[in-house]
Each structure stands twice: as C-alpha cells, then as structure tokens.
C-alpha cells in the first residue's frame, strides 16, 4: 500500500510519514513525485509517495511461493485466467502451458511451462513481471480482489534467495573495507528483502537511494 506526503524538503515529508504511520525509516520506500526548487517566485516543495505495509499489495505481487503443480481450476474465473495466460504467451510468439501451482485466499499462483522459459522470464525477471502485470489487470476486471503470481521454473524463490545471498556477501565486504556499497536497482519488494535480511547484522546499516520505483540500496558501515 502507499500514501503521499509533502513538505518543504524530502526529509520533512519523510518525517511526516514516520510520525503518521508509526514506522521506522527503513520500513518503507520513497518515490519522489514532485520536487520544486526554491527560487525568487517559488517556495521549495517536495511531494513523496511512501510504499509500506504488506508486500502482498505490491503491484508486482511477488512473494516466495510453495511449489505445487497442476491444481485444477475451481471456478470459471480461474479457467479464464489460465486461458488468458496461454493466449498471451501464444500472442508473444512462444509455446507454453499455464497451470495453477497454488491458491491462497484471493491469491492465485500460476506456473508457465515452456521451452522458451528463459525468454519469458527475461533479464532479472523483468519479462515475467510484465506478464504478471498484464495478467493482474485482466484478472482484476474479473475479480477486483484477485491477485495473480506468475512464475516459471521456480524463478521467484531462486531470485529472492540470490538477492539475500548477495546482500550478505556485500555486507561482509562493507564491514571489511569500511566503505559503503550500492546494490543494483530493485523494486520495493526486493529492497525490503535486503533491509529485512541485514536489519540484525552488526556493523552495517541500509538505506534506499534514488527516484522512481526502481531504486538502489546502499549498505553503509557503522562503527
């Protein structure tokens, strides 16, 4: 979920978010929506969007999911979503078959089996995220409460494990060198994985830097 806050500076807007939401600074991510610099005729003004709360509500709907194969559709809506995914893959010019691999309350997990899975996943999962976004727009028209997680070859879980391993490795490098390091740009869910993983590691701290949805996490040495 997200809320917007404003202030004369980004720090003032962030402090408003911390006070109103009762969060710590690393419990949320910030996207700068407006940044008006002070001039002769303008007062400084910053508007930010704060992303916080349950990762289930992220637009990408990513999460670690159980691996259960080929569950049968239990409703007409599920059948339509499966059919839509199959058609979408074909329209993209690839062969593939979608099947349900889990369901949890209003969340539906769909796995794509394809000889072209590496292409459908894409670099750092960006193609998979794009497919997931399109499918969620379609599914939302059928059932506004439904969230769909698209996966292939168990990429989601493997990717999350890789992010955490890299965060631990980089944290050790930062502690040894005493110099901060920036990780690659990540979406809010991925950044929260890093913040959470390193939260209890002594000798380092983390903060998000940059504008927009994809920002970088800086790992900072702390004496």
Domain boundary among 153, 173, 196: 153
User: How high does pLDDT run on average in the chain?
Assistant: 84
* Predicted pLDDT of residue 60: 43
Residue 206, CA atoms < 13 Å, CB-side half-sphere: 27
* Predicted pLDDT of residue 64: 47
The predicted-structure confidence for 72-94, as pLDDT tens digits, reads as follows 777 888 999 999 999 999 999 99
Asked if residue 60 belongs to a domain, the reply is: no
What average pLDDT score do residues 135-152 get? Answer: 92
The predicted-structure confidence for 160-214, as pLDDT tens digits, reads as follows 899 999 999 999 999 999 999 999 988 888 888 999 899 888 999 998 888 777 8
| pLDDT value at 58 more than 70 | no
| pLDDT value at 55 more than 70 | no
Residue with tokens 């007409």: 76
Asked if residue 91 belongs to a domain, the reply is: yes
Asked if residue 185 belongs to a domain, the reply is: yes
- Give the number of domains in the chain: 3
Nearest Cα neighbor of 148 from 191, 111, 96, 186 is 111
> How many Å apart are CA 77 and CA 191, to the nearest integer?
33
> How many Å apart are CA 27 and CA 42, to the nearest integer?
32
Q: Which domain holds residue 163?
A: 157-221
| 205: β partners | 220
Asked if residue 62 belongs to a domain, the reply is: no
Asked if residue 178 belongs to a domain, the reply is: yes
What pTM did the predictor assign?
A: 0.59
Nearby residues of 204 by Cβ (< 8 Å), 6 or more positions away: 171, 174, 175, 198, 219, 220, 221, 222
Answer for the pair 98, 85: CB distance below 8 angstroms, yes or no. yes
Same domain, 119 and 172: no
Return the exposure string of 16-45: e unless at least 16 CB atoms fall within 10 Å of the residue's CB, then b. bbbeeeeeeebbbbbbeeeeeeeeeeeeee
Asked if residue 64 belongs to a domain, the reply is: no
Same domain, 166 and 99: no
Q: Report the CATH number at residue 186.
A: 3.30.1370.50
Same domain, 165 and 123: no
Asked if residue 215 belongs to a domain, the reply is: yes
Same domain, 111 and 166: no
Same domain, 145 and 161: no
Asked if residue 200 belongs to a domain, the reply is: yes
Same domain, 93 and 113: yes
Domain boundary among 15, 38, 53: 53
């Amino acid at each position: 979920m997200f809320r917007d806050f404003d202030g004369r500076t980004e720090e003032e807007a962030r402090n408003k978010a911390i006070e109103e939401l009762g969060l710590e600074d690393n419990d949320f991510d910030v996207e700068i929506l407006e940044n008006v610099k002070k001039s002769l005729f303008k007062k400084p003004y910053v508007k930010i969007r704060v992303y916080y709360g349950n990762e289930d509500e992220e637009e990408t709907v990513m999460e670690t999911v159980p691996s259960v194969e080929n569950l049968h559709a239990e409703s007409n809506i599920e059948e339509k979503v499966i059919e839509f995914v199959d058609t979408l893959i074909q329209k993209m010019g690839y062969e593939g078959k979608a099947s349900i691999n889990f369901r949890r309350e209003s969340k539906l997990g769909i796995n794509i089996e394809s000889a072209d899975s590496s292409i459908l996943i894409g670099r750092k999962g960006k193609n998979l995220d794009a497919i997931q976004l399109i499918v969620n727009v379609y599914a939302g028209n059928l059932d506004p409460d439904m969230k769909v997680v698209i996966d292939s070859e168990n990429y989601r879980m493997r990717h999350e494990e890789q992010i955490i391993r890299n965060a631990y490795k980089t944290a050790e490098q930062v502690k040894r060198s005493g110099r901060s390091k920036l990780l690659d740009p990540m979406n809010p869910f991925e950044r929260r994985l890093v913040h959470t993983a390193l939260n209890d590691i002594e000798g380092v701290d983390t903060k998000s830097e940059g504008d927009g949805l994809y920002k970088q996490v800086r790992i900072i040495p702390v004496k």
